[in-house]
Amino acid sequence: MSGVTVAAVSDRLGSPTGSFYHRFASRDVLLGSLWLRTVLEFQTGISDALDAGRRVRAALHTPAWVRKHPTRRALLLLYDRKDFLKGEWPPELRERVAEMTNA
């Protein structure tokens, strides 16, 4: 992910770099936000199946989800919750991840 730059993201989206910084404080905040959204989406699929009493579907959610979402799967394989709670990650991102996981 180190090859991803704010300029490259802005170019890909066809938006000014300033628009990126209006929404995200840094590239790391973008990465963390994507990770957090992906985790929540993944967990919602399992929770929904369990809430509906569909235990087999809940059990099969992980292999089905990873086949359907290879890019998001890679994001979850490359980073862990702990990666966002330490080091150089921005405080607002660390707080959101800690809140999400009740850490």
More confident position, 56 or 80: 56
More confident position, 17 or 97: 17
Under 8 Å between Cβ of 70 and 26? no
| pLDDT confidence band for 3 (50 / 70 / 90) | low
pLDDT tens digits, one per residue of 24-44: 888 888 888 888 889 889 989
1 has pLDDT over 60: no
More confident position, 84 or 66: 66
Q: What is the pTM of this model?
A: 0.73
pLDDT tens digits, one per residue of 39-69: 889 989 999 999 999 999 999 999 999 999 9
| pLDDT confidence band for 94 (50 / 70 / 90) | confident
In Å, how far from its chain's centre is CA 28? 11
Under 8 Å between Cβ of 29 and 51? no
Nearest CA among 65, 66, 68, 4 for reference residue 31: 4
